């Protein structure tokens, strides 16, 4: 269907602003910006009258696409500061990748309501945990058994893929629960974002091939114009977020993380239950 040119210009400006904010968040919180991008795209596709059963998948897939360049930019900035835990990255990356690939492929069979609920409830739970003044500490170190070595990172990859987010949303609070320094967790999570996004976006592209109701210039469940506009700004602002992360104390960093997650979760759950 034809779109009003003025509306398209306004939406493009909004996406550029979203990309700039997403980049800052990627560097600041290690979340790949998806925690902001997904709900913004969900609203955008609603304005463009994309069918509800397609809009959420398209928002998640497009968000994952933008995470690839944003995570590279953010991870490089953290790596220059020597903040990434290379050992943990090597141990967890294969399992995070496998979980993300499975999550991306599951988008073929999961409907929009399930994706919305997963996003809303997981983000809400994580935000409440991070908002607690004293972080829940389970142990002094990560478990060395199969749960700590494979199940946890695979779960992070799978749920992150279904939510359209980088690894920070789940890996930062989980690592913090095992006494991992928050700045180091955020930095390492920026690298996990790339490990998650690549296999997951491939799954969403495959799942969306031939699906009716997608906007023009879409590759599967990825809107190419929206992705380009967002990451053209996010890759520029991600290093600034990384610099900001190292200038904030851990308590303020946690509070900022929790606030963004909480507001986003409420908005997504409202979009589901409000329409029911």
3-class secondary structure for 218-274? EECCEEHHHHHHHHHHHHHHHHHHHHHHCCCCHHHHHHHHHHHHHHHHHHHHHHHHC
The pLDDT score that the predictor gives to residue 30 is 57
Higher-pLDDT residue of 58 and 19 is: 58
Give the mean pLDDT of the chain.
83
The pLDDT score that the predictor gives to residue 116 is 86
pLDDT band (50, 70, 90) for residue 274: low
Is 1's pLDDT higher than 70? no
pLDDT band (50, 70, 90) for residue 29: low
Is 135's pLDDT higher than 90? no
List CB contacts of 187: < 8 A, sequence separation 6 or more: 30, 75, 78, 79, 81, 83, 84, 85, 242, 245
The pLDDT score that the predictor gives to residue 71 is 81
Higher-pLDDT residue of 240 and 7 is: 240
Q: What is the pLDDT of residues 142-194, one digit of tens each?
A: 877 777 778 999 999 999 999 888 777 788 888 888 888 878 888 888 889 89
Least confident of 42-46, 129-133, 190-194: 129-133
pLDDT band (50, 70, 90) for residue 203: very high
The pLDDT score that the predictor gives to residue 168 is 76
Q: What H or E segment, with its residue span, contains residue 214?
A: none
The pLDDT score that the predictor gives to residue 272 is 65
The pLDDT score that the predictor gives to residue 93 is 93
Taking residues 83-103, what's their average pLDDT?
93
pLDDT band (50, 70, 90) for residue 44: confident
The pLDDT score that the predictor gives to residue 223 is 92
Residue whose entry in the numeric block shows the structure tokens 């997650």: 261
Residue 267: C-alpha distances to residues 21, 123, 168 (Å): 18, 11, 20
Is 276's pLDDT higher than 70? no
The pLDDT score that the predictor gives to residue 48 is 81
Retrieve residue 55's tokens: 């809009």
Is 139's pLDDT higher than 90? no
**Are 189 and 241 spatial neighbours (Cβ–Cβ below 8 Å)?**
no
DSSP three-state, residue 146: helix
């Amino acid at each position: 269907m034809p779109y009003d040119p003025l509306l398209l210009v306004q939406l493009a400006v909004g996406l550029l602003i979203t990309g700039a904010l997403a980049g800052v968040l990627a560097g600041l919180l290690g979340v790949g910006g998806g925690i902001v991008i997904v709900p913004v795209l969900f609203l955008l596709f609603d304005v463009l009258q994309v069918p509800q059963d397609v809009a959420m998948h398209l928002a998640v897939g497009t968000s994952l696409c933008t995470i690839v360049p944003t995570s590279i930019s953010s991870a490089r900035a953290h790596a220059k500061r020597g903040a990434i835990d290379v050992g943990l990255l090597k141990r967890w990356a294969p399992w995070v990748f496998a979980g993300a690939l499975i999550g991306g492929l599951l988008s073929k069979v999961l409907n929009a309501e399930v994706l919305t609920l997963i996003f809303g409830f997981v983000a809400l739970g994580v935000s409440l945990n991070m908002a607690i003044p004293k972080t829940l500490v389970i142990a002094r170190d990560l478990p060395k058994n199969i749960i700590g070595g494979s199940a946890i990172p695979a779960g992070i990859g799978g749920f992150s893929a279904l939510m359209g987010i980088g690894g920070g949303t789940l890996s930062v609070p989980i690592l913090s629960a095992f006494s991992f320094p928050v700045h180091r967790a955020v930095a390492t999570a920026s690298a996990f974002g790339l490990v998650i996004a690549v296999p997951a976006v491939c799954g969403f592209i495959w799942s969306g091939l031939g699906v009716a109701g997608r906007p023009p210039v879409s590759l599967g469940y990825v809107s190419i114009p929206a992705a380009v506009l967002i990451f053209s700004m996010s890759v520029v602002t991600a290093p600034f977020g990384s610099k900001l992360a190292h200038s904030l104390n851990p308590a303020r960093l946690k509070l900022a993380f929790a606030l963004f997650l909480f507001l986003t979760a409420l908005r997504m759950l409202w979009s589901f239950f409000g329409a029911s």
